[in-house]
Amino acid sequence: MPKLIFLPHESLCPEGMVVEAERGESILDAALNAGIEIEHACEKSCACTTCHVVVREGFDSLNESSDLEEDMLDKAWGLEIESRLSCQAVVGNQDLVIDIPRYTINHAREEH
């Protein structure tokens, strides 16, 4: 089983975390199953950028991104070459090192 190594994130996993994932599982589903509450405002339908992650290692082992995902990523905060929407990025055979950006853009969430 590939390992997903989540780098420390201030609120979601302050110490970082290593998660085992099934091949064919999305990064988001693996994270949620491990208790890492990555935001996913569109319920995994590739209609927002709240689940944006940066895959620091193992990027080439992921499935190819679709045109729709690429269009959505263009709107993401902190976009990098190795950026993916975690709801669309499917785990392959290699371990991954994943960085969850500090900020997300969620137009639907209201902050008080």
DSSP for 6-55 reads: EPPBTTTBTT-EEEE--TT-BHHHHHHHTT-----TTTTSSS-STTEEEE
Q: Are 34 and 51 in contact (CB under 8 A)?
A: no
**CA pair distance 77, 22, nearest whole angstrom:** 28
Domain boundaries of the chain, sorted by first residue = 3-99
Per-residue pLDDT of the chain (112 residues; tens, 9 = 90+): 999 999 999 999 999 999 999 999 999 999 999 999 999 999 999 999 999 999 999 999 999 999 999 999 999 989 999 999 999 999 999 999 999 998 877 654 444 3
Residue with tokens 């045109």: 67
Structure pTM? 0.92
Is 3-99 a domain of CATH 3.10.20.30? yes
